[in-house]
Structure 1
Amino acid sequence: MNKDLKRILFIPDMCEEISDYLEENEDAVLIINFSEIREYKEFDSFNCLNETRINSLRLFGNVAHDYNYDALLKIQVLKELDNRSIDLAYNFLNFPNLEVLRYTWNKKCNHIASLKKIRELSLWAY
């Protein structure tokens, strides 16, 4: 955790602490580094984040495991998404408040035109 920059690294066995921190710090960034997570062999789902208020999310690293990403694909309050590493098929109707999107294009993503609040859009590999 970097309290000065308000960035918190996702650690699977710290979901409750992460949720509390993000609730208290609305401008904090949640960073998920898949290279770090692979050390947690039993971890397979981000469902522990279902009730977490995530306003800014950054995804990095190489995925070496098939995770359940459902909690990351429907974040109504999310304002900033930076995913240039992980191949996820987003339905952008699930992100009505998104203002900043940095994304490696995936043909399976839907409704990017529905992003009415978008201020910054960066697409890679379009």
Structure 2
Amino acid sequence: MEYYYYDQLGSAYSDQPDAPDLWELPRFVEEVEQVRQALGLDRNNFYLYGHSWGGLLAIEYALKYQQNLKGLVISNMMSSAPAYSLYAQQTLMPAMDQTALTEIKSLEAAGEYENPRYMELSILGE
């Protein structure tokens, strides 16, 4: 079995363009399709695994390109954004450090998504 992992545009070691029009789900779906084509994968050997945000991306890819898939695996994600939001509010947020959660909400209310402290709290879960 071969396993491929790639950094999508804007992630970790990939290019980080400052172009908001690139951050649209349909563009990411097409990026997955381009990777599949470049690797020469098809419905006989292409299993797509999506974790968290990648799970939503994998679902959208499967809806558009199901003829190219042999299988789909979704990990740690729901297929409904409203259901995930409810889960986050009812389960994830109450389990968090409440001081950190208060600080996260304050930074979000101020639109401080690029603030290093926001990234530290929300990504690293400090």
Classify the TM-score, shorter chain.
0.3 to 0.5
Give the alignment's TM-score, normalised by structure 1: 0.32
Q: Higher relative contact order by CA 8 Å / sep ≥ 6: 1 or 2?
A: 1
Give the alignment's TM-score, normalised by structure 2: 0.32
Q: Which has the higher strand share?
A: 1
Structure showing greater radius of gyration is: 2
Q: Which has the higher helix share?
A: 2
